[in-house]
């Protein structure tokens, strides 16, 4: 069973009791043809080393990442659920499980009585 450990540090991490491996990826045509995965190559290399080894996937500076999320402030006062959902969708928010869970938690369905009252009032 593989165990993954991630270290963010200013120096390289080295194991004191396990082999450090650098899998040879240059001769593996399957990686470039898509018939083998990087994970399978690493797993095989670790198995060949007796099953106990560390592999450094990336060693270098931590990349800078910036995210820009579209503002939804103007939707705060929107009472119409369809307009609200269309506004979210137009900003790139898709119906993933987390968003659907939040919508189900904070948007209440109108009761059948209030729907009848609003339709007869028109």
Cβ-Cβ contacts under 8 Å for 25 (sequence gap 6 or more) = 31, 38, 41
Q: Is residue 119 part of a domain?
A: no
- Residue 86 has phi, psi (to 5 degrees) of -65, -40
Residues 24 and 54 in one domain: yes
- Looking at residue 65, its pLDDT comes to 83
- Looking at residue 2, its pLDDT comes to 73
Residues 54 and 80 in one domain: no
DSSP string, the chain: ---------SS----SSSEEE----TT-HHHHHTSS-HHHHHHHHHHHTTS-EEE-S--SPPPP--------GGGTT---HHHHHHHHHHTT----HHHHHHHHHH-PPPPHHHHHHHHHH-
pTM for the whole structure: 0.48
Q: Is residue 13 part of a domain?
A: yes
Residues 31 and 83 in one domain: no
- Looking at residue 50, its pLDDT comes to 92
Q: Is residue 122 part of a domain?
A: no
Mean pLDDT by 10 residues, the chain (122 residues): 80 89 83 87 90 88 82 88 87 81 76 55 54
- Looking at residue 115, its pLDDT comes to 52
Residues 51 and 73 in one domain: no
Residues 9 and 52 in one domain: yes
Instruction: Name 19's bridge partners.
Output: 53
- Looking at residue 122, its pLDDT comes to 53
Q: Is residue 75 part of a domain?
A: yes
Residues 22 and 43 in one domain: yes
Give the angle 42-43-49 at the CA atoms, nearest 5°: 90
- Looking at residue 114, its pLDDT comes to 54
Residues 2 and 50 in one domain: yes
Q: How many domains does the chain have?
A: 2
Residues 72 and 46 in one domain: no
Residues 31 and 75 in one domain: no
Domain that holds residue 4: 1-63
Q: Is residue 27 part of a domain?
A: yes
Residues 74 and 100 in one domain: yes
- Looking at residue 20, its pLDDT comes to 93
């Amino acid at each position: 069973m593989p165990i993954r450990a991630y270290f963010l540090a200013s120096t390289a991490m080295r194991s004191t009791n396990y082999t450090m491996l650098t899998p040879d990826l240059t001769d593996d045509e399957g990686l470039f043809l898509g018939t083998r995965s990087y994970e399978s190559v690493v797993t095989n290399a670790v198995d060949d080393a007796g099953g106990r080894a560390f592999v450094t996937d990336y060693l270098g500076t931590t990349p800078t990442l910036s995210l820009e999320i579209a503002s939804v402030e103007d939707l705060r006062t929107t009472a119409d659920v369809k307009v609200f959902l269309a506004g979210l969708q137009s900003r790139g928010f898709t119906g993933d499980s987390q968003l659907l869970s939040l919508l189900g938690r904070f948007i209440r369905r109108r009761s059948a009585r209030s729907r009848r009252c609003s339709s007869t009032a028109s």
